[in-house]
Structure formats: structure tokens, C-alpha cells
Chains A and B, each alone.
Chain A
Amino acid sequence: MSILECRSLYKNYGNKRVLENMNISVPAGKIIGLLGPNGCGKSTLIKMICGLLVPSSGEIWVDGMPIGPQTNGIISYLPERTYLSNGMKVIDLIDYFCDFYRDFDRKRAMKMLQDLMIDPASRLRTLSKGTREKVQLIMVMARNAKLYLLDEPIAGVDPASRDYILQTILQNYNPEATVIITTHLIHDIERILDEFVFLGFGGEIVMGGNADDIRGQYGKTLDELFREVFKYVQ
């Protein structure tokens, strides 16, 4: 069964068309890379799945339900920009998430904070940008959600933390859950992906399939293939 279905999806921002007749069906239990050049509509799609944006037309179904409070309950979303209040302490944030989400695993969150040597008593304001991103990702991955939407989860963090974050994703996701990751750092994430989708402008699906098979088929990594497919002509 598919966890996510988009049917004839359109999204305009005023006159600007972002997604044009997008049809996509995502199977459950996979880690999927949603990859595409800047401005192709990756974040727009993800925000529509979370109910933060409304499609201009078309349908989105999550786990067989239309977008609403019920789907939000099973989606764990990491936004590209943080929405957390800078005055909060990390520990307050954990209480906050415990209150908001029934599926939040406090123990797991504390363990991850400890692993990454983040002091729960520190205020977000006092943390570096990368550390704040780690805190946010911990909050997202400590939930037992059915669908994780990670919009650029590793963009601002150092390579060692990137590895930790990818390991965290591998370790925490249960085999029934689905993880959708958008990123430009394809090289870093391709080994943890099941499937990939190359999204072109207007939300056109340029290429997609099993991430590992592509290596055999083209003799290239996903990163190399992306550079070729989306090459700009000088």
C-alpha cells in the first residue's frame, strides 16, 4: 500500500507555476530521496503534504486519508527553516513535544542529545546554527511517525555530524515507516536511500527508481547522474 499519493497536483504562487500536474505514489517502508535543482518545487510539495500550503488543484492522500489533523498526527516534519523560539531551553522543547505528540519518545530524544553532546539546559539562542538544526532533527526523529518528511536535514551541519544524523535516520526508522528526504548533498545520503526521484522544473518526474540499481545501470553514483541530468549549458 502506498503511504503517499498525489494526483494531478497543481500549485501556483500567483502567476508562477511551481507544480504542474504531478502524479506520484510512494510505497510504505522505504527511504526515498526527493532530489532536484533549486526551485523545482521540492519544499512546496512537502509543505502541501504537511497541510502548510494548499494545492491550487489536485489531491493528496496520506495513508489513505486527505490532508488534515489526522494525517498531521502521523507525519513528522523537519522544515527547511527552524520555527522554534530562540528563548526556549532544549529541555523545554522536549516537554513541548511530549505534550504535542503522543508518539514522541522522550528517552530516545535524551539519548540523542547526549550522543551529540548537547546540553539540555542550554537556550536555543546560545547554540550555533548547526547545533540548532541537530536539536530540531532530534525532535523530529524521536517521534514514532509513519511518514517522516525531512526537508534538507543535513545542509548546515559538519561532515561528522552528518554521518551521525544519517546513522540516526537508519537506526530510528522502523521498517513500516517511510522517510522522504530532500537534499542537495546527494553524495552524502545516497547510500541510505531505497528509491530516488529526480524532480525537474514544474514538478516533472525526470527519472526515478531504485537507488542502488542505478549504479549498475549507468555505472555512476546518483550524485554523478544528477550532475549530468541537470547540467546547465554555458
Chain B
Amino acid sequence: MGWKFQSNSPVYLQIASTIRADILSGKYAAEEQIPPVRQLAYIAAVNPNTMQRALSQLELDGLLYSKGTAGRFVTGDTAVLEKARHNAVNELLETFLQGCKQLGVTKDEVIQLLNKKEEMECQF
């Protein structure tokens, strides 16, 4: 039912990062209106107040803004979007690099492996 969530962090933060990814990937374009809270809550199968909290978080981050009763829209500020994209990638990299460190893989090896993987994917 609805979206899947990890057990170890608040649901509203997980929702916020799902919607953030939808904005960064262009599923919701700049200046596009996003669906109303109740509809999103229904789709995700979560409490409407939890959804509200997630959207407030994204407003705080500057990715969404609300036009009073007209609804919520994705920001048109490309600098904000760009910065959010960088932050998201950095977060991924951090987890990745931590994993590499645990495995004792060096930076050179990582770069080598990345290139190799890219080459292989190009062949298909």
C-alpha cells in the first residue's frame, strides 16, 4: 500500500526526499503545481498531517512555494534547484564513499571501477 518507508527515520523526511527527487528529476517541472496534500497523502497512504509536514520541509528548503489557496508550486529559481541537486548527489556520494572505505577500496580503484562499469553499460 502506498510508498515504502524505512523504519529508522521519520516518515515525513522520507516523503520529503521522495518528492525532492521527483522535482530534481523533472517529474514535477519548475513552476508546475504539485497535487494537493490530501491527494498526495492518499497516494502515499500516509496521514495527511505527515504529508503536510513533508511539504512544509520542502518549502523551507526553497524547492516549493505556496500561492495561498491556489496550491503549491515548484520553484522557478534555477540556482536553488541546482544547489539541491548538488546536495542530493553529495549525500549519495557520502554513503557510497563510506561503503568503499569500509571495504578498503582506494580512490584510484573506485575511479577505475566506475570507468569500467560505464564502458560495459555503453556496450548494451
Residues of A near any B CB (own CB < 8 A): 30-31, 163, 166-167, 170-171, 175, 191-194, 211-213, 215-216, 219-221, 224
Q: Told that A171-B42, A191-B46 touch, could you supply 7 new A-B pairs with CB distance under 8 A?
A: A163-B1, A167-B45, A191-B11, A191-B50, A192-B45, A212-B47, A219-B9
Question: Which chain B positions have C-beta within 8 A of A215?
Answer: 7-11
Q: Which of A31, A191, A212, A221 lies at the interface centre, i.e. has the most chain B CB atoms within 10 A of its CB?
A: A212
CA distance A171 to B1 in the complex (A): 14
| Contact between chains at A224 and B47 (CB < 8 Å) | no
CA distance A211 to B11 in the complex (A): 9
Docked complex: B18-71 residues within 8 A CB-CB of A: 41-42, 45-50, 53
Of A30, A163, A171, A216, the residue contacting B10 (CB under 8 A) is A216
| Contact between chains at A212 and B53 (CB < 8 Å) | yes
| Contact between chains at A219 and B8 (CB < 8 Å) | yes
Beyond A166-B1, A167-B42, A170-B42, is A191–B47 a contact (Cβ under 8 Å)? yes
Q: Indicate whether B88 reaches chain A with its CB closer than 8 angstroms.
A: no
Across the A-B interface, the 9 shortest Cβ-Cβ residue pairs? A163-B1, A219-B8, A221-B7, A216-B10, A212-B10, A215-B10, A192-B47, A191-B46, A212-B11
Question: Which chain B positions have C-beta within 8 A of A191?
Answer: 2, 5, 11, 45-47, 50
| Contact between chains at A192 and B13 (CB < 8 Å) | no
| Contact between chains at A170 and B41 (CB < 8 Å) | yes
| Contact between chains at A194 and B49 (CB < 8 Å) | yes
Interface residues on B, range: 10 to 19
Question: Which chain B positions have C-beta within 8 A of A192?
Answer: 45-47
Beyond A212-B50, A212-B53, A216-B13, is A170–B45 a contact (Cβ under 8 Å)? yes
| Contact between chains at A213 and B10 (CB < 8 Å) | yes
Q: Indicate whether B12 reaches chain A with its CB closer than 8 angstroms.
A: yes
| Contact between chains at A170 and B48 (CB < 8 Å) | yes
Residues of B near any A CB (own CB < 8 A): 1-2, 5, 7-13, 41-42, 45-50, 53
B14 → chain A closest CB, angstroms: 9
A158 → chain B closest CB, angstroms: 13
CA distance A221 to B50 in the complex (A): 15
CA distance A216 to B14 in the complex (A): 11
Question: Which chain B positions have C-beta within 8 A of A216?
Answer: 9-10, 13
Give A192's nearest chain B residue, CB to CB: B47
Of A167, A175, A194, A220, the residue contacting B1 (CB under 8 A) is A167
CA distance A215 to B5 in the complex (A): 11
Question: Which chain B positions have C-beta within 8 A of A221?
Answer: 7
Give B6's nearest chain A residue, CB to CB: A215
CA distance A171 to B67 in the complex (A): 25
Question: Which chain B positions have C-beta within 8 A of A211?
Answer: 47
Question: Which chain A positions have C-beta within 8 A of B41?
Answer: 170
Give B11's nearest chain A residue, CB to CB: A212
Beyond A215-B11, A216-B9, is A193–B47 a contact (Cβ under 8 Å)? yes
CA distance A185 to B21 in the complex (A): 31
| Contact between chains at B10 and A194 (CB < 8 Å) | no
Question: Which chain A positions have C-beta within 8 A of B13?
Answer: 216
CA distance A224 to B7 in the complex (A): 9
Question: Which chain A positions have C-beta within 8 A of B2?
Answer: 191
Of A163, A170, A175, A220, the residue contacting B7 (CB under 8 A) is A220
Question: Which chain B positions have C-beta within 8 A of A193?
Answer: 47
